[in-house]
Amino acid sequence: MNQANFARVPHECGLRVQAIYGDLKSAEKKAVDFMLNHPEEIPGLNIIHYARKAGCSEATIVRVAKRLGYDGYPQLKAAFEEEEGEQSGDVGYQEIDPGDPPLLVMKKVFDSATTALEDTLQLLDPYQYRAALEAIVGASRMLVCGLGDAGVVATETSYRFNRIGKQCHAPTDPDLQLIHASKLKAGDIFIGISHSGQSTLVIDAAEVASAAGATVIGITNFPTSPLAKLSTYVLQTAVFTKNWTGEIMAKRIAQLCIIESLHANCLMADRDVAVQELKASDRVVRRHKLHGPGIPTD
């Protein structure tokens, strides 16, 4: 899959291709590869000619169009017609090279985070988001699990929701994650955080939580991943950059912004109670902060 070709397809389409390409069947990859290699031809092709040129069936093209979020091939074709002549599909990422000077590295890091947030906002499914939010608002107990630096996002989630009166756990021990997951019930929430959607410890906890009757919310970059398939609702990030170190913080920033928005909306949904809980939390932790003239209280 040639990354340069994404500059020649509609932006949202390019994002969705990257999210599902690894799970496409061979015939589906033929349809997608032709689209990426010859995007200028799509506006002038009917589905019969597309199938002939790509070496796949018409049914495959319809299936690919639906997997990319379109109702069918006419809608996919229309997206290419709208973007014809424009380079709107460039995901905007510039990978860090070991020879880059310090200020260029800094700029690339900031640019990657900005692009990740913009793309995630564009790709988030409004229905999935609203449904997940409604489930969280109505829940009395939450469990959040993440592995590695995703665990930092899980901890922050627990911290924020506990401050507004939600019972929210984010244990780091795998055994404790399973124990907490097994005690969830219908109406409780399990949030699994995994960029790849393939973190086995998170998937194990999600399976236990689902079996216990909890609503499973997956925050992942890949909508066909094992975590996504286990989830009642999927909140999809869109972060496709990487660098020579193998890890980027942009994917966690996108996850944190999803959590931040859910927390803010949850607070708004029951504002009177949540604000009182937040004030009470602020009062009790104030003892851990220095006080005096000119000293910030945050």
Q: Tens digits of per-residue pLDDT, 198-230?
A: 999 999 999 999 999 999 999 999 999 999 999
Domain boundary among 54, 83, 112: 83
Pairwise CA distance, residues 54 & 30, whole Å = 6
* More confidently predicted of 175 and 3: 175
Answer yes or no: are the C-beta atoms of 186 and 147 closer than 8 Å.
no
Q: How confident is the model at residue 294 (pLDDT cuts 50, 70, 90)?
A: low
Rounded to whole angstroms, the Cα distance separating 221 from 128 reads 14
254 shares a domain with 152:
yes
Could you tell me if residue 183 is inside a domain?
Answer: yes
Is it the case that residue 7 has pLDDT exceeding 80? Answer: no
Q: Are 240 and 174 found together in one domain?
A: yes
Residue the block writes with tokens 């999803």: 258
**Tokens linked to 189:** 């929430």
The average pLDDT across 85-94 equals: 51
Residue 253 shares a structural domain with residue 152: yes
Whether residue 268 is found in the same domain as residue 169: yes
pLDDT computed for residue 25 by the predictor: 94
pLDDT value of residue 232: 97
The total of structural domains in the chain comes to 2
Q: Is residue 100 part of a domain?
A: no
% of residues, the chain, pLDDT over 70: 89
CB 194 within 8 A of CB 217: no
Distance of CA 167 to CAs 47, 156, 177, 184, 237, Å? 52, 14, 15, 12, 25
Asked if the model's pLDDT at residue 164 lies above 80, the reply is: yes
> What is the rounded radius of gyration, in angstroms, for the C-alpha atoms of the chain?
22
Give me the CATH number covering residue 225. Answer: 3.40.50.10490
CATH number at residue 33: 1.10.10.10
Question: Is there a domain that residue 201 lies in?
Answer: yes
Q: Decide if pLDDT at 111 tops 70.
A: yes
Integer CA distances (angstroms), 195 to 10, 56, 157, 192, 208, in order: 24, 31, 16, 10, 20
Lowest model confidence (mean pLDDT) among 148-157, 198-207, 218-227, 264-273: 264-273
Instruction: Give residue 275's pLDDT.
Output: 82
pTM: 0.84
186 and 134 together in one domain? yes
In a domain, 89, yes or no: no
* Shared-domain flag, residues 67 and 12: yes
pLDDT tens for 34-85 read: 999 999 999 999 999 999 999 999 999 999 999 999 999 999 999 998 865 4
Q: Which of 11-25, 153-167, 246-260, 279-293 has the lowest mean pLDDT?
A: 279-293
Instruction: Looking at the structure, tell me whether residues 149 and 282 fall in a common domain.
Output: yes
Cα-based distances in Å from 58 to 40, 51, 52, 54, 261: 19, 5, 9, 10, 41
Domain around 14: 3-83
Do 251 and 176 sit in the same domain of this protein?
yes
The yes-or-no verdict on residue 88 having pLDDT over 70 is no
Please determine, for residue 280, whether its predicted confidence score (pLDDT) is greater than 70. Answer: yes
How does residue 8 score in pLDDT terms, banded at 50, 70 and 90? confident
Pick the last residue of a domain from 20, 53, 83. 83
- Residue 12 scores a pLDDT above 70: yes
Q: Are residues 62 and 171 in the same domain?
A: no
Which pLDDT does position 123 carry in this prediction?
Answer: 92
Domain boundary among 83, 101, 130: 83
Q: Nearest 5°: phi and psi at 70?
A: -100, 160
Residue 152 lies in a domain: yes
Question: Is the domain of 202 the same as that of 271?
Answer: yes
Q: Is there a single domain that holds both residue 49 and residue 130?
A: no
- Rounded distance between C-alpha atoms, residue 71 and residue 188, angstroms: 33
Q: Return the pLDDT at 112.
A: 87
Residue 98 domain-assigned (yes or no): no
